[in-house]
Every structure is written in C-alpha cells, then in structure tokens.
Amino acid sequence: MDLKSGYPFWAVKNGLLKTFPQLTRDHQSEVVVIGGGITGALIADELSRHGHHVVVLERRDIGWGSTSASTALLQYEIDTHMTELARRYGESNAVLAYQACADAIGELEALAAGMGDVDFERQQSLYYASNEEDVLPLKEEFALRQKHGFLATWLESDDVHAEYGFQAPAAILTQVAASMDPYRMAYQLFEQLVQRGGEVYDRTQVERITPDEAGVTLTLTSNAKLRCQNVIIAAGYESQTWLPQAVAENRSSYALITDPLPPEALGKLRHTMIWESARPYLYLRTTRDGRLLVGGDDDDEDIPEQRDGRVLGKAEGLSRKIEALWPDMVINPTFSWAGTFAETDDGLPYFGPHDSLGPKVHFAMAYGGNGISYSMIGAKLLRAIIEGKPHPLAELFSFKRLTLGSK
C-alpha cells in the first residue's frame, strides 16, 4: 500500500540518499527488524550498539514510507493529556510516560550529535487552547505537570498575543521540544549500522513469520528463508497486518511547507512549535532554513487514491487556518502531502510480544503524534526485553495495558 500522497518535503529535499541490496538468499541473524523507517532505524541502532547482530528488511526503499511524510515534531507532550492518562492508568504511570518522552528528546539530541547533518534543533512548544471551553482542562494539565516537576509556563490570552502575535484564550509553553529531518536521520543510522557489521536490505518483503521454541523463520516473497532468534516488526501501521485484530485506527494527516520566509515574518515561531487543544489539531514548526511546516486536518481516510485527491484541498484549508491566526502572513505551499499513520485510543504505543506470535516476535508500534520520541523509548525497551532485563515501561507500553484499568 502507498503510505503517502503528494510531495513530502524530506524526500524531495534529500532524494534517494543511498541504495541497499535486496536479500534473495537464505540467511541468518540474531535479530531481524522488519521496517526501514525511523522507528526501525532507532531500534536497529540501539541493538547494534550493544553487540547484537541485526538484519533490517524493508519492502520499499529505505525511509520511503511514513518517515518521508513525517513532520517530526519531537515533544514530551503526548496527544492524550497527562490528566487523562492518570485517570486511566494511575498518576505514576502517566508521569512515567511523560518523563520518558522528555528523556527521549535528550537521547535523540545526543544521538543526532554523532550523525552527519540531520537538522536537529531544540525548540519550545506552545500548546494553546482552541476555545474557552478548553482553558480549564489545560489549567488542570498544567497543574499536574508542575506537581511532578515538568518545566512549563502558563500564558494568558494577552501573553500569547504579545509573544506570538495570535489570539488564543490561554496556552502552556514548555522548553523541552525539538525538530529534525527524520528521513536523513534514518539513512545516517542505517549507514552506521552497516559500518558496525549490521545488514540492511530494501525491496525485500516478508511473506510469512514462523516462530518455534528456538527462534523464528522468516519466509520472503522470493522464497528465501531468514532464520533468527528474535524479530521486531517496525512497519508502521502495516504492522497490524500481523495481528489477529487491529489495535489502532488508521488516520491520514496532511501537511504543507512554504518557501523560506524572512526572520521578521516568523518572529518567535522560528524556535517555537505550536499546536492546539482541538482534535484533530493544527500544528506547525519551522525548518532550519526558515520554512514554515504546517500540518493537521487529520481524517480517517486510508485509501491512497482518495487520500491523493484531498491533498491540495487540505493544503488550502491549512493555509487559511494559519492566515486566520496571523492575518498579515500569506501562505503559499511549495510542497504539500499526506501520510497515513495509526493512532491508539489512549495515545500510547505498543512495544513487545503479542500472544498470537509468541515471545520471540516483538512489535514496535510507535503510534500517534509522538512517534519518533516513542521509537527512542521503544528501542531501549525492546533491547531490555530481548536481553531479559526489566524496563519501567514494559507493562504500560505492552499489549497487556488494557488489563491495567484505572488506579
């Protein structure tokens, strides 16, 4: 299935950075990662750095799925409020999830520092109330974050307008956020993986997964067989095809990017990503060269042909929303695109084995708006599972969390 429509900026900007071979022979490895996007790259990198031999399989070209369509807003803030997670899973679990996302941004920064240029940049995050009814829930959210030591500032309507030039009833401003080029980051990670002795194969599709007591056999569409001790399925929303029933809803998100804008036109937007409390939400950030990247207007369309037909209209709608916030700003999309993603009902990811395939087949479902931050967390979580070590989020981010209930 085609995961994206239009012209995703990262693919246009970077092109096909490197080619990898196709696997057509029988082979073996300690760990196989299915999926050559940013999630698979972070997981494979973590395992390889800790001495595991990893083979990565991607059925398209590397990074050519949802990664090329990602807008790469790196935040500790989860699409589901901490207050809501606390009601569902207990306050300690909610704080643990948010803190892990905050830590992941620092870990991604450290990782990016060892790469070539991947456009990693620290940002602020402004989360604003879309209407008056959302002010009280945001105040409750702000209070819970403050209670647990998350650095944030409350802005009243006048503050938002004075600092950022648009009208909103209130907002939460946080300092822990970042942005990057996820497509280039994935390629850099895979290149380093190969240098350490790992293997990356694209245009290689898995037809069948057969676990047994000693490990797992993967049968490829070429009929070649790949034997390993553990498999990690990191194939985005397509990972759900390996489960007996879906655990998330497919959604399409739409985005556009402008030509570089002058610094005076961007103001504090240059270093602040912005998103709103409405669902689906409008969000925006800038790139290092001063382009405005805008996304949102999500819908439940996952049929590629129909999604294709919506891109230009959605880009026009997103442009008008930005111009409504900043009437002096004229938005002319240089590129516009859409990508299909998956979204869980609680905004949390799934990492680890599922009963249907046994303990050697692990899922990496970094779903929702925090996909890259979740992937950084999941890389360490999955390594812990494979190495037989505990991890504080192993239960909450597992398929067992629906049995946790409210605490």
Question: What are the pLDDT digits (tens) for 259-272?
Answer: 999 998 899 999 99
In a domain, residue 81? The reply is: no
Residues 6+ apart with CB under 8 A from 238: 1, 3
Q: Residue 3 above 50 pLDDT?
A: no
303-354 pLDDT, tens per residue? 778 888 899 999 999 999 999 999 999 999 999 998 888 899 999 999 999 9
Say whether both 62 and 13 belong to one domain. Answer: yes
In a domain, residue 99? The reply is: no
Among 77, 290, 294, 271, residue whose Cα is nearest residue 171 = 77
C-alpha–C-alpha distance, residues 190 and 171, integer Å: 39
| 70-99 average pLDDT score | 96
Query: Residue 1 has what pLDDT?
Result: 46
Residues 6+ apart with CB under 8 A from 389: none
In a domain, residue 114? The reply is: no
Query: Residue 5 has what pLDDT?
Result: 55
C-alpha dist (Å) from residue 371 to 32, 213, 364, 366: 21, 32, 10, 5
Say whether both 257 and 155 belong to one domain. Answer: yes
Among 266, 258, 335, 265, residue whose Cα is nearest residue 123 = 266
Residues 6+ apart with CB under 8 A from 365: 239, 240, 247, 248, 342, 344, 349, 350, 351
Among 273, 301, 403, 402, residue whose Cα is nearest residue 348 = 402
Cβ atoms 193, 114 nearer than 8 A: no
In a domain, residue 329? The reply is: yes
CATH code (residue 42): 3.50.50.60
Coil, strand, or helix at residue 331? coil
Cβ atoms 225, 209 nearer than 8 A: no
Coil, strand, or helix at residue 362? strand
Cβ atoms 192, 206 nearer than 8 A: no
Alpha helix positions (H), 148-279: 157-164, 182-195, 263-266
Domain that includes residue 368, residue range: 4-69+183-248+347-403
Say whether both 195 and 145 belong to one domain. Answer: no
Examine the fold and report which residue of 326, 341, 356 is the final residue of a domain before the chain moves on.
341
